[in-house]
Chains A and B, each alone.
Chain A
Amino acid sequence: EIVLTQSPGTLSLSPGERATLSCRASQSISRNTIAWYQQKPGQAPRLLIYGASSRATGFPDRFSGSGSGTDFTLSISRVEPEDFAVYHCQHYDSSPLSFGGGTKVEIK
């Protein structure tokens, strides 16, 4: 079973700052089968990134994903007020699927 570890647990930023979120896997992820989701309070998660770097419909290009092997990163070039949320990474390399513990991006 692949374990995903996200860091930091909480990221405190001011609007306009850059956000860098990490997702580290316990073993190498093949074919970059990593997805990222954004979740706001009381809402279901929303697909943000798939295939490690492909942005889902509806998200602006300030969001980007990168990485390979065991280390993956979600970046927000300039955080906007609507970006404050929890971000989850997920692998879909093999069964069982798993998610990281999440990173909360909060207003500083």
Chain B
Amino acid sequence: QVQLVQSGGGMVQPGTSLRLSCAASGFTFRNFPMHWVRQAPGKGLEWVAVIWSDGSDQKYADSVKGRFTISRDNSKNTLHLQMNSLRDGDTAVYYCARAMMTGWYFDLWGRGTLVTVSS
């Protein structure tokens, strides 16, 4: 079954760190660029980060640059998002998403995991 299964998330205090994971199955993970997209409560979608299929490059939204790191392990079909120096504004449901090789639109999404940053 083609799917992305997310783990991690939870409630943390401002300034702390959290790591999200996304396990892929049912497709050749190493062939696809992977992204993280988030959605604050009651708000729209916000692109967070992308990593190339071979892990050779990454790009980030300005809102997370220098604090978040996207990585992948193609041998384990797993995507990660390391989130440091978390802020209240990072509170959101975080989705991992598979992008097409022909263009960065998302044809497969994880179910999302809630990250709450609160003191």
Check A96 against B105 for contact (C-beta < 8 Å).
no
Which residue of chain B has the shortest Cβ distance to A46 in the bound complex?
B109
Check A45 against B106 for contact (C-beta < 8 Å).
yes
Check A92 against B103 for contact (C-beta < 8 Å).
yes
| Complex alpha-carbon distance, A96 and B35, angstroms | 12
Check B107 against A96 for contact (C-beta < 8 Å).
no
Query: Interface size on A (CB < 8 Å)?
Result: 22
Query: Interface size on B (CB < 8 Å)?
Result: 22
Check A98 against B47 for contact (C-beta < 8 Å).
yes
Inside 8 A of A98's CB, which chain B residues have their CB?
47
Which residue of chain A has the shortest Cβ distance to B4 in the bound complex?
A44
Inside 8 A of A101's CB, which chain B residues have their CB?
44
> B104 contacts the other chain (Cβ, under 8 Å)?
yes
Check B44 against A102 for contact (C-beta < 8 Å).
yes
Check A99 against B61 for contact (C-beta < 8 Å).
no
Inside 8 A of A56's CB, which chain B residues have their CB?
107
Inside 8 A of B103's CB, which chain A residues have their CB?
33, 50-51, 92
| Complex alpha-carbon distance, A99 and B35, angstroms | 14
Label chain A's interface by main secondary structure: loop
Task: Please give the distance in Å from B113's CB to the nearest CB on chain A.
Answer: 11
> A107 contacts the other chain (Cβ, under 8 Å)?
no
Inside 8 A of A35's CB, which chain B residues have their CB?
105-106
Inside 8 A of B50's CB, which chain A residues have their CB?
95, 97
Task: Please give the distance in Å from B85's CB to the nearest CB on chain A.
Answer: 20
| Complex alpha-carbon distance, A47 and B37, angstroms | 14
Check A44 against B47 for contact (C-beta < 8 Å).
no
**Additional A-B contact list (16), CB under 8 Å, known A56-B107, A99-B37:** A44-B109, A45-B106, A45-B109, A50-B103, A51-B103, A88-B44, A90-B105, A92-B99, A92-B103, A96-B47, A96-B61, A99-B44, A99-B45, A99-B46, A102-B44, A102-B45
Chain A interface residues (CB < 8 Å from chain B): 33, 35, 37, 43-47, 50-51, 56, 88, 90, 92, 95-102
- What 9 A-B pairs have minimum CB-CB distances, sorted nearest first? A35-B105, A44-B109, A92-B104, A99-B45, A97-B47, A101-B44, A102-B44, A50-B105, A47-B107
